[in-house]
Structure 1
Amino acid sequence: MNTGVKITVFAAALAATFGTAYGVGAAIDPAAGDQEPAAHAKHDRPAPSGHGGHGGHANATPAGLQISEAGYTLDLKTPRVTAGEESELRFAIRDQDGHQVTSFRREHGKELHLILASRDLVTYRHLHPTRAADGTWSTPVDLPAAGTYRVFADFTPDAEGATNLTLGADLASSGAYKAAALPEPATTTTIDGYTVTLNGALSPGKAGELTLSVSRDGRPVTDLEPYLGAYGHLVALRSGDLAYLHVHPHGEPGDGTTKPGPGISFTATAPSAGTYRLFLDFKHNGTVRTAAFTVHTGKTTPAGTTKPATSEEHSDSNHQR
């Protein structure tokens, strides 16, 4: 990965309310066929979709709002599951001729990353499904509550001229539904005895520096372990429509300069003013955990000007390594 930042900006076509967020991540076995994480591939690409380039610019139209883009379509074969029951989530990526895509470029050690989030942001999943030979992807899911969820597929087809895409589709979870309240902004949060502190501001229309520092029992954690080729991965979801940013940290393990904690630094640009939920995945003592913060940004900042913001907190999550 370059020492610069790599940002993915996508979005989801969701209209309802948003609420709280996310928390504990337990390590799960790798998806079949996946190998050790590779060095981060470049994700620079022009607006309007996928990994939207460096933190210096926000895309005019966040990606992920679309189920189809650039000739590719997310075919969600499991549009509904039952809350509280384990189900198999199945989907495929189809090309412009309707054929299921079977060849993808490996990025961050995986051919495809799947993000699953509830509208109220109580539930968050970062999954790595298994692909069958015919291009059908599958992964077990157990959603704790009823409601509408958004499925984001982050991938790059292995085709000439193809760029990274993030396509989104809605998933319904049946049962009694009650939205939770979004936690208030704060600069610290705790998860499984770890304290994570957020420094910096997420600003609309302008790149900002964010540093998240991990400590345990009052002592800085200086032996974070690589997870998908990095010491941390940061996802931001915008309240209201689930606009999505996937931000990669500065540096990478083994580059001779990046330390394994306590701080993990990112450069990020919010696509607009609003309220966001930040989710940091980090790995220590063999387990992936997620710390979450609520962040309010100010007014959208025109190019060349500055406008700051604030941050905090955490909730229900699952990880696949």
Structure 2
Amino acid sequence: MNTVTKLSGFALGLAVVFGTAYGVGQVTGPVAPVVATGHDGDSHGDNGSAAPEHDDASGHDDGAAGHGNASGPDAGAAGHLPGGLLVADRGYTLLPVRAPEGEFAFRIIGPDGDPVTRYDVAHDKKMHLIVARRDLSGFRHVHPELAADGTWRVASPLGGPGVWRAFADFTPTGAEPLTLGVDVTVPGELTERPLPAPASSTTVDGYTVTLDGTPQPGGTATLALTVSRDGVPVTDLEPYLGAYGHLVALRQGDLAYLHVHPEGVPGDGRTAPGPQVTFAAEFPSAGAYRLYLDFQHGGVVRTAEFTVHVGDPGSVPVPPGTAPDDGHGVPGHEHN
């Protein structure tokens, strides 16, 4: 049964509550109607009160946020946490800043306390911004533009009321790749949506995408996704972000952002442009995960979504039609 949650306290400011604050340049203009909160776990923070307005704030604590302090089931051989759980890591902080209404803006603050302005290209872009509501609906994957002052700007991908997790996936020049995450609240009346049941196939804009693979907790699984249209395999997928598909996986609860890597690249002489796209995905623990496959065909990027239960007898996707996906996201949306 859906539960109706009131997200009150309409805020005209963006606030990031971390700890120690230091100032960086101010972005002027009216404030977008969202509130950013510095949750690093899975607390929603929607307690009916608005956070105080701040132009910029951060909470560097490299000792607490560093990968080397991870422990428990998510700690790998190097003690690394999954991506997206931390707002600050290895000296870098994700910092939402003031922006005109309808726009989302943020900076990455470097170890020297200044906005980062130099990034390496990864998957054809210098910055990947992924957002999803805390109930794992409303997924968006967009690519902001970088201003000279280190501010990233994009038309707001936040689709409606709710607590959203925003992930910045990037590589600072001369540093390791990072995925940082921060919660952003859009006030209003929210109807939470349950996670759809696992299924081996889903449809989006007339395309059927089938998932094959059985992930196990604590290991890397091979996931094969096959695309067809009107029963005919699609053999002319178009390159998107350096591959024939881009896959994001989020863990229910804390929204851990998982490492997923495509196998092969377009033009390498051995990777076919469909119908199958294969990925290696790391699942650090048992639990429910939501998978989002972006693929391009006919010049349009579409997103197919799946639920996977890892480490559970019911984790194997059920046959099509047994537990149909309910279109948890927004099929057929275009990406920037």
Task: Report the TM range for the smaller structure's normalisation.
Answer: 0.7 to 0.9
- Indicate whether 1:14 and 2:29 are aligned: no
- Indicate whether 1:235 and 2:265 are aligned: no
Q: Evaluate the alpha carbon distance shift between residue 60 and residue 136 of structure 1 in structure 2; reply closer, same or farther with a 3 A threshold.
A: closer
CA distance in structure 1 between the partners assigned to 2:262 and 2:162 by the alignment: 32
How large is the Cα RMSD of the aligned pairs?
A: 2.7
Alignment map for 1:70-109 (pairs within 5 Å): 70-78=90-98, 87-109=102-124
Percent identity between matched residues is 52
Structure 1 residue identity aligned to 2:94 = L
Taking structure 2 as the reference length, the TM-score comes to 0.72
Structure 1 residue identity aligned to 2:330 = D
**Residue by residue, what CA displacement relative to the aligned partner does 1:47-94 show, whole Å, maximum 9, x if unpaired?**
669xxxxxx989652222111111111111159x9xxxx711010011
- The CA deviation at 1:320 is 2.8
Which residue number corresponds to residue 182 of structure 1? 195
**Residue by residue, what CA displacement relative to the aligned partner does 1:78-121 show, whole Å, maximum 9, x if unpaired?**
59x9xxxx711010011122211110111111111111110011
Q: Evaluate the alpha carbon distance shift between residue 142 and residue 125 of structure 1 in structure 2; reply closer, same or farther with a 3 A threshold.
A: closer
Q: Evaluate the alpha carbon distance shift between residue 115 and residue 226 of structure 1 in structure 2; reply closer, same or farther with a 3 A threshold.
A: same
CA distance in structure 1 between the partners assigned to 2:176 and 2:235 by the alignment: 36
Which residue number corresponds to residue 152 of structure 2? 137
**Residue by residue, what CA displacement relative to the aligned partner does 1:253-306 show, whole Å, maximum 9, x if unpaired?**
00000000000111112011000001100000000000001110116xxxxxxx
Structure 1 residue identity aligned to 2:238 = E
Structure 1 residue identity aligned to 2:173 = D
CA distance in structure 2 between the partners assigned to 1:265 and 1:47 by the alignment: 28
Structure 2 residue identity aligned to 1:137 = W
Would the aligned equivalents of 2:224 and 2:276 in 1 still touch at CA under 8 Å? Answer: yes
CA distance in structure 2 between the partners assigned to 1:255 and 1:58 by the alignment: 32
- Indicate whether 1:61 and 2:81 are aligned: yes
Q: Evaluate the alpha carbon distance shift between residue 112 and residue 183 of structure 1 in structure 2; reply closer, same or farther with a 3 A threshold.
A: same
Which residue number corresponds to residue 304 of structure 1? none
Alignment map for 1:1-321 (pairs within 5 Å): 13-15=41-43, 61-78=81-98, 87-159=102-174, 162-298=175-311, 309-311=315-317, 313=325, 314=327, 315-316=329-330, 318-321=333-336
Question: What is the number of residues matched between the two proteins?
Answer: 263
- The CA deviation at 1:203 is 1.7
Which residue number corresponds to residue 19 of structure 2? none
CA distance in structure 2 between the partners assigned to 1:200 and 1:181 by the alignment: 23
Structure 2 residue identity aligned to 1:196 = V
Which residue number corresponds to residue 22 of structure 1? none
Q: Which runs of 4+ in 1 moved over 3 A?
A: 46-49, 56-60, 311-314
- Greater C-alpha Rg: 2
More contact order relative to length (CA 8 Å, sep ≥ 6): 1
Provide the secondary structure at the position in 2 that maps to 1:264: strand
Q: Evaluate the alpha carbon distance shift between residue 77 and residue 272 of structure 1 in structure 2; reply closer, same or farther with a 3 A threshold.
A: same
CA distance in structure 1 between the partners assigned to 2:314 and 2:127 by the alignment: 33
Provide the secondary structure at the position in 2 that maps to 1:253: coil
Taking structure 1 as the reference length, the TM-score comes to 0.76
Would the aligned equivalents of 2:83 and 2:258 in 1 still touch at CA under 8 Å? Answer: no
Provide the secondary structure at the position in 2 that maps to 1:176: strand
User: Is the deviation greater in 310-319 or in 257-266?
Assistant: 310-319
Would the aligned equivalents of 1:58 and 1:271 in 2 still touch at CA under 8 Å? Answer: no
Which residue number corresponds to residue 36 of structure 1? none
Structure 2 residue identity aligned to 1:224 = L
Q: Evaluate the alpha carbon distance shift between residue 258 and residue 47 of structure 1 in structure 2; reply closer, same or farther with a 3 A threshold.
A: farther
Would the aligned equivalents of 1:195 and 1:215 in 2 still touch at CA under 8 Å? Answer: yes
Provide the secondary structure at the position in 2 that maps to 1:207: strand
- Segments of 5+ residues of structure 2 without an aligned counterpart are 1-38, 45-65, 70-75, 318-323
